Structure 1
Amino acid sequence: MRAKHIFNPKKLLLLVFIGVVGLSGCKKFLDVNQDPNKPGTADPNLLLPVSQVAVGTVVGNYFQVYGNIWGQFWTQGPSASQYRSIERYNDANTAFDQVWNRIYTKALINAQLIIDSKVGGVEQTKGIAYLTKAYTFQLATDAFGDIPVGDALQTNNLSPKYVPQAAVYDSIFTYIDKGIALIGVANAVKPPGSQDVVFQGDMAQWKAFANTLKLRAYLRLTNIDAAKASAGIAALYATNPVFLTKDASIKYSTTGGNDNPLFSEIVGLGRPQNLVASATAVSQFVANNDPRVVQLYVPVAGTTNVTSLVQGTFAQFPTAVVSTPSALVGASPNNAQSALAPVKLISASESYFLQAEAVARGWATGDVNDLFAKGINASFVATGITDPTIAATYIATAKDGQTALTAAASTEAKVKAIIVQKYYAMCGFQGFEAWSEYRRTGYPDFLIISKAAPASTTVPPRRMLYPNSESVSNLNFPGTIALNVPVWWGKKN
């Protein structure tokens, strides 16, 4: 049953095919992706969208569901049952087999094939592949902790060794630096162009992505290795970096099976109302008079009211009428516009909040109040609220607005104000990242234990389980680690 959580791989292949310009035929494309033992024979520019879309499927479907439920933007709906085990914190390790497989055998192996390719003139494509490796390994290690890295992408190695999370992060920084060097190669003979489904070959945007990803990764270390985090951020800022001011995202369409991966799953399940609004997030939006709430959730028919359930109370209210997440985030069952929802790898609002935190901690230069406001503004625009006066009013009057930041008497209080606003901005769009930031910082501090969890539960999940496939096939499997055990960087809370 749990396999239903995963995006249909046939649609993944269709999506990549449609998204790539200049392919001579679907069969040729599939052939490219089926021979990982001959990296010299594969066209890197054809492998690139395969890797990118696999990442989009992980972020936009599997991790989207877990992140938004465990981050308490969404909860299991009372009229359906697909995600009850997630809400109860009792998923079996078999539930994680397919996402692990998608990470390693789709996203990462194709990125590695690009890097290993003997085709000339594709330096920029190889640079993107390194950045894809960095991004994907961060996803994997933030979810599971220690993971296989170097020898995991050797196709004949069935038992790759697990690497401590600290070393995984060292690899992430190395991959980012290699990516930056290669995307900076001018006049590439074979640039990726429109076969790059994230930035369509715009290397300036990829440079901004690399800088933003590096900032995100260093900030993840704040509670476990502050010295390394501060030194890394100082070195980054010494390069006069440009950060993202637009979303790094994968866009979808309503035709040809190329829809948003979460919506594709919803349709495949028969459009049940599995995902509904969580009172944890909705109550905060309401308390702040936040106009984004009716953009992110669907008001009850005939009203302007967003209704919600206390996290995990689906069994207590079997007939409740509850708002669903909106089409804007790809999760409205009966709105075909959900198919168009982009999958955001890093958003513009996240970029501004990352910079704001670095400044608040004294590790970077800049105007923390301006960056904070820009993060909120970017989020409002992303939800379709483009009138700047609406965002300005919210910033000036909301309880968690500018006052929360300017009144903060300590660095920790400033960080809290920033992370809380980042949480609101990530609602529905970046659930996994919001959950990761909660695990790092303890903010927002209004999250609760799911009411469906066992009575003995004292903390929300701190990690995902290693998949069953690893426990039965990898001789170096480190053993099962419970959901409530923090990952390496998750010391706080």
Structure 2
Amino acid sequence: MKNTSKFLAALVLVSLTTSCGDDFFDINENPNSLTLESATPNAILAQALKVTADNYGLTLNTYGSWTAGYWGKTGTVNGYNPERTYTYSSTYQQGLWGSVYDNIKDYDNIEKNGADLGLVYISSIGKIMKVLNYQLLVDQYGDIPYSQSLQSDSPTPILAPQYDKAEDIYKDLVVKLDEAIAAIRTPGANAVAVGPEDIVFGGTMANWVRFANTLKLRILLRQSFVPALDGYVRAEMTKLQAQLAPEGFTTTDVAAQPGYLQTAGKQNPFWNAYRANPAGARIAQSNYQAGTQYIIDQYEQNSDPRVSQLYVLATAGAFNGKYKGVVLGDPNPLPGGTQISRWKDYGGILKGFDASTPLMLAAESYFLQAEAKSRGFLTGGDAGAKTDFNNGIRASFVYFYAPAPSRAATTSNVSANAVADYTKYLTANTTNGLVDWDAATTTLGVPAGSTTRPVSKLEKIIYQKYLAMNSVTAIEAWNEYRRTTFPKFPASLQSSSPRADKLPVRLLYPQTEISTNFSNIPENINQFTSKIFWDVMD
């Protein structure tokens, strides 16, 4: 049994140190080690949230950007064979599995130790973040260890956990979110507030409820096209509607900000990987990949002002003065640098060394609500869906135009232009069904011999979500493509996929798991044929 007095004493120490501006990057890198400083939930929360931001904003965002058609390889570098052909192996992205499970274990400690100490709020945060991370794993791997996954250090350790069915895990994630929301709303007397160790919401628990509600909506919609689950999804949506007030859904970007600095090991992970070292010098990696011509075309062809906030014009070569992207899988791509459109420095994608890392965009929240209302899952009807749809586009402009903290006083801060440019975008597209809620057709992507094509409500929602998630929360765009088949972005020219869309459908189980838990891994898994359970729309 844990020594509660020691835990409480450590908690007091942590509260004192964090209130004095403790550097969250200096927290023990292994929060699972039960030292005096790391045993308490407060001591490990900031580090756990930072690791989630690293996994989501860098690893998953990078993988999603390649698979969802946002990025292609430039001619500056060789390699990237899995990204160009989708010939995944058990070592491709294998670090993701262990990193996310380690992160889940941190949150499990936060949840359980918080409950032991009567810290309802921080325990509930741990539970919500476990749900987020388990969903991330299910969406890439399908069946995973769940009910036995965190018992390697229990009194009766399980070193080779069994795999649970993905659809069963999804249902339990909804239950866990309901539990967390109920606990936050009724914490009991003398509930202990969460402070600056919460690097996402700063201890504002109503925002955690909003996030949990929105995460639940995402989970329910993701499985909503599975015929056998229609009754379950509708029943849970009815419960969600009834229990939504007073907090509602997320209306601001959910982002982690541990206090990124222009120092080794402390920069925003995306900036550090794809733009500059701590000395401010451009790194070679910044020229290895670039935006695809497809994604750039979606902004240019719709007169979308966001293009100038995301990319720069080529300044040399045949496309000087134009936006020029690369083609995914092109065997002879243009070199990175001035002949193509790099991401704009201090723009919407490369915001700066101290930019927050999004875990869920406000735009996504609004688009989820628009879909749920347009399909009759939530009340509000077409009018409510239209409002949410437009709010989602507006939120995307606001996000892409907002600067990193260190750029707020510079000329690169164009945040004042966001709403005006959003209005220009709507005005320029009143007959374009990909942008205007009431327009039923578009001239973009029409079949041969036609001048227009119909656009469903679902397609326009997912299309705008796709534009909003570009290179920021790209893994969700990839998930949504597999769920809905929208938008119809081109696959790699060198694709080895036998599918009609020439794309993969999942990651393979990692070699680390094959080496240690082979007898429990589902058999005959293939990246082109072994779909996640909610992927039924082909």
TM-score, normalisation: structure 2: 0.80
Structure 2 equivalent of residue 407 of structure 1: 440
Please say if residues 329 and 429 of structure 1, whose CA atoms lie closer than 8 Å, have aligned partners that are also in contact. Answer: no
Q: Distance in 1 between matches of 2:238 and 2:433?
A: 29
Matches within 5 A, 1:87-486: 87-105=84-102, 107-117=103-113, 119-155=116-152, 156-184=157-185, 185=187, 189-224=191-226, 225-241=229-245, 242-251=248-257, 253-256=260-263, 257-266=265-274, 270-301=284-315, 305-313=322-330, 315-318=332-335, 321-327=339-345, 337-366=351-380, 367-384=384-401, 386-387=416-417, 388-398=419-429, 399-403=432-436, 405-407=438-440, 413-445=456-488, 447-454=489-496, 456=498, 458=500, 459-474=502-517, 475-479=519-523, 481-485=525-529, 486=531
Between the aligned partners of 1:27 and 1:219, the Cα distance in structure 2 is 36
Letter in 1 for 2:77: A
Partner Cα separation in structure 2 for residue 327 and residue 160 of structure 1? 45
Alpha-carbon distance in 2 for matches of 1:188, 1:297 = 51
Which one is further off, 118-127 or 316-325?
316-325
Deviation sequence 1:421-442 (CA, Å, 0-9, x none): 1111111211000010010001
Q: Deviations over 1:432-485 (max 9, x none)?
A: 00010010001112x112012237564312111111111111131223522213
Q: Alpha carbons of 1:187 and 1:461: their partners in 2 closer, same or farther (altered >3 Å)?
A: farther
Bigger shift: residues 321-330 or 482-491: 321-330
The CA distance in 1 between the partners of 2:329 and 2:19, in whole Å, is 44
Counterparts in 2 of 1:190 and 1:327: CA distance versus 1, 3 Å = farther
How far the C-alpha of 1:121 sits from its partner, in A, is 3.6
Deviation at 1:21, TM superposition (A): 5.3
Identity %: 28
Q: Is the 1:114–1:125 Cα contact (8 Å) retained in structure 2?
A: yes
Distance between the aligned counterparts of 2:238 and 2:24, measured in 1? Answer: 47
Q: Unaligned stretches of 5+ in structure 2?
A: 1-16, 278-282, 402-414, 443-453
Alignment RMSD, CA only? Answer: 2.9
Q: For the pair shown, which has the larger CA radius of gyration, 1 or 2?
A: 2
Task: Give the direction of change, closer, same or farther, for the CA distance of 1:401–1:457 in structure 2 (3 Å limit).
Answer: closer
**After the TM superposition, which of the residue ranges 310-319 and 141-150 deviates more from structure 2?**
310-319
- Decide whether the 8 Å contact of 1:326 with 1:338 is kept in 2: no
For the Cα contact (< 8 Å) 1:328–1:341, is it kept in 2?
Answer: no
Instruction: State how far apart, in whole Å, the 2-side matches of 1:380 and 1:139 are.
Output: 26
Which runs of 5 or more residues in structure 1 are unaligned? Answer: 1-18
Alpha-carbon contact 1:78-1:319 (below 8 Å) kept: yes
Structure 1 length as normaliser, TM-score? 0.87
CA contact (8 A) 1:405 1:414 kept: no
Distance in 2 between residues matched to 1:424 and 1:28, nearest whole Å: 36
Counterpart amino acid of 1:308?
Answer: G
Tell me, in whole angstroms, the C-alpha distance in 1 between the residues paired with 2:484 and 2:260.
36
Distance 1:238 1:423 in 2: 30
Asked if 2 retains the 8 angstrom alpha-carbon contact of 1:400 and 1:421, the reply is no
Q: What's the CA shift for 1:34?
A: 4.2
- The 1:90–1:78 alpha-carbon spacing in structure 2 relative to 1, beyond 3 Å, is same
* Cα distance, 1:221–1:24 mapped onto 2, change above 3 Å: closer
Answer yes or no: is the 8 Å Cα contact 2:514–2:521 preserved in 1. Answer: yes
Aligned partner letter, 1:238: A
Q: Is the 8 A contact 1:279 1:308 kept in 2?
A: yes
- What secondary structure does 1:153 align onto? coil
Contact residue 223 and residue 492 of structure 1 kept, 8 A: yes
1:307-341 Cα offsets, whole Å, 9 max, x none, are: 10122215354578222233457865xxxx53233
How far, CA to CA, are the matches of 2:216 and 2:232 in structure 1?
Answer: 13
Contact 2:57 2:270 in 1 (8 A): yes
Aligned AA (1:66): Y
- Give the CA deviation at 1:39: 11
Aligned length: 467
Q: Are 1:260 and 1:330, in contact at CA under 8 Å, matched by a contact in 2?
A: no
> In structure 1, how many angstroms separate the alpha carbons of the residues matched to 2:424 and 2:23?
52
Shift of 1:25: 8.4
Which residue among 44, 60, 65 is the counterpart of 1:68?
A: 65
The answer as to whether partners of 2:76 and 2:287 remain within 8 angstroms in 1 is: yes
- The aligned residue for residue 35 of structure 1 is 33
TM superposition outliers: structure 1 runs of 4+ over 6 Å: 23-28, 38-41
Deviation at 1:235, TM superposition (A): 1.3
